[in-house]
């Protein structure tokens, strides 16, 4: 029996992302389980788990826009930019007004450069930065570009500030708060963080850890196609799907009369369509069955679409779950 899909989980504060994976892994034993986007132990909220072959799709989930609610305390500074490390309160700092904060948020939208704290999970010279920082090592953190789509001040009563942030993968929310504070002449530490959405996976639909431990996981298993909504999709015939399963290339053409892509003998129109789509970083298609199930991911190579990942039809899993519970 094959598990193939996603669980939208609500990770509580105090647990690591790996702890949540382990809850499911212990129940499903040999089923591969992976998560999309690590949440620090301090943080809570949406953590998406990929089960079985869907573990290969977590990078697509990670690439989806994310939404967070971050709480900060102005006028304080800590090496980790949050309350993990001891903070200090420098004297003489200004108390920014709401208008200054709103103006500063507008200057931080788009592709921006960000230098995360040394207590982040980024690899520096082959080692996790936080491991080196906790050992007292001195090193320089690299800056990088990240995408910030929106920053909204949801609440402000000095020193407490609440921000709602929509951003791309790899953005450190505590660094967003620290950088915003710098723009208004002060410091900030993050005191709480909640991830409320990753793409189509929303907080209001997430299941708690009690359900992960003892609930019926089948009822909460979400379809793999949720991970590839950002990709152009091609509906293939049964014969073309079999070709993809055997590693053979597939010919496709964009159908201007229909929002899908249909199988033909030409690739040129599809290549043009994909290359002109800003959301697609590399020419890639999601190959779907006529029933709307994900069958494969196709990549363009030498003017032909080749299977990059294949997902043979998932069998029913009710019997497997019965065996696990029994």
**H/E/C letters for each residue in 42-68?**
CCEEEEEEEEHHHHHHHHHHHCCCEEE
User: Which amino acids are annotated catalytic?
Assistant: 40
CA atoms of 65 and 55, how far apart (whole Å): 19
Inter-CA distances, 4 with 10, 34, 288, Å = 20, 12, 15
- Identify any residues that bridge with 298 across adjacent strands, giving them in sequence order: 285, 307
**H/E/C letters for each residue in 250-298?**
ECEEECCCCCCEEECCCCHHHHHHHHCCCCCCCCEEEEECCCCCEEEEE
Q: Is the peptide bond before 182 cis (omega within 30 degrees of 0)?
A: no
List CB contacts of 163: < 8 A, sequence separation 6 or more: 69, 70, 72, 105, 151, 152, 153, 154, 176, 177, 180
Q: Which two tokens stand for residue 322?
A: 């019965």
Q: Are 181 and 126 in contact (CB under 8 A)?
A: no
CA atoms of 58 and 78, how far apart (whole Å): 32
CA atoms of 166 and 12, how far apart (whole Å): 21
């Amino acid at each position: 029996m094959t598990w193939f899909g996603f669980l939208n989980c609500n990770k509580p504060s105090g647990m690591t992302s790996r702890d949540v994976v382990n809850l499911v892994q212990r129940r499903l034993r040999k089923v591969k389980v992976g998560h999309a986007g690590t949440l620090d132990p301090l943080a809570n909220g949406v953590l998406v788990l990929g089960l079985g072959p869907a573990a290969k799709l977590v990078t697509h989930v990670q690439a989806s826009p994310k939404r967070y609610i971050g709480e900060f305390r102005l006028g304080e500074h800590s090496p980790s930019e949050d309350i993990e490390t001891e903070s200090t309160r420098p004297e003489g700092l200004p108390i920014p007004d709401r208008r200054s904060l709103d103006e500063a948020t507008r200057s931080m939208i788009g592709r921006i450069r960000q230098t995360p704290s040394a207590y982040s999970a980024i690899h520096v010279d082959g080692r996790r930065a936080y491991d080196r920082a906790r050992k007292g090592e001195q090193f320089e953190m690299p800056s990088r570009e990240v995408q910030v789509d929106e920053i909204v001040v949801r609440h402000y009563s000095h020193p407490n500030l609440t921000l709602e942030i929509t951003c791309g993968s790899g953005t450190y929310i505590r660094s967003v708060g620290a950088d915003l504070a710098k723009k208004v002449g002060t410091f900030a530490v993050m005191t709480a963080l909640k991830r409320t959405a990753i793409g189509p996976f929303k907080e209001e639909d997430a299941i708690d850890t009690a359900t992960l431990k003892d609930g019926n996981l089948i009822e909460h298993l979400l379809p793999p196609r949720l991970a590839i909504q950002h990709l152009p999709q091609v509906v293939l015939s049964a014969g073309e799907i079999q070709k993809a399963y055997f590693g053979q290339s597939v010919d496709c053409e964009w159908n201007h009369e229909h929002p899908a892509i249909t199988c033909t003998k030409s690739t040129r129109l599809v290549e043009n369509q994909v290359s002109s789509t800003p959301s697609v970083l590399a020419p890639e298609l999601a190959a779907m069955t006529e029933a709307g199930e994900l069958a494969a991911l196709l990549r363009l190579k030498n003017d032909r679409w080749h299977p990059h990942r294949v997902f043979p039809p998932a069998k029913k899993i009710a019997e497997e779950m019965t065996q696990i519970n029994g």
